[in-house]
Amino acid sequence: MLSRVITVSDRCAAGVGEDRSGPAVVAAVAAAGYEVSLVVVPDGEESVRTALREALDAGAHLVITTGGTGVGPRDRTPEGTRPVLDRLLPGVAELLRARGIEHSAHAALSRGLVGVVDASDGVGGALVANLPGSPNAAREGTEVLLPLVRHVLDQLAGGDH
């Protein structure tokens, strides 16, 4: 299954910061047996929306963003993600925050979304999740998501409960 990790960071996109969260997520997704690629985009609503649409157009069924979920002036990942999603999975986003709070109270500040893009025109659906930019938080979030992926995708394809 094709998947994509999108690091959202002005500093990493400009080459002045090291992307540590994206590679951490890529390693976890690859270890779970998925084909995965990584792209880095600057913060901002439009850059996120464009990167998500490109990933989906390329056939990704799992798309994980890392970064841009906080309350900083350029943290607009959820705003770029919401228009791409057909349905939200608020319980999964709540689970990600709850798991993160076990390690850091800052996890409560994450505004990350999780949702699905429905299958259409013979193209399978996708699970999309926003994770924080902290390498530890991104890795922990990926551990929460991976056990859910196959079931979500099966449901999107019309599978039974």
Reduced to 3 states, what is the DSSP secondary structure of residue 15?
A: coil
In this predicted structure, the answer to whether residue 118 has a pLDDT above a threshold of 70 is yes
SS3 track for 119-147: CECCECCEEEEEECCCHHHHHHHHHHHHH
The predicted structure's pLDDT at residue 121:
62
Going from N- to C-terminal start, the domains of the chain cover 2-156
The yes-or-no verdict on residue 160 having pLDDT over 90 is: no
CATH class held by domain 2-156: alpha beta
Both tokens assigned to 51: 């990167």
- Name which residue leads in pLDDT, 157 or 42: 42
159 or 137, which is more confident: 137
pLDDT in tens, 41-81: 999 999 999 999 999 999 999 999 999 999 999 999 999 99
- Is the pLDDT confidence value at 123 over 70? no
Please write the tens of the pLDDT for every residue from 10-50: 999 999 999 999 999 999 999 999 999 999 999 999 999 99
In this structure, what token pair is assigned to residue 43?
């913060």
The answer, yes or no, to whether residue 95 has pLDDT greater than 70, is yes
Closest listed residue to residue 64, CA positions, set 86, 32, 36: 36
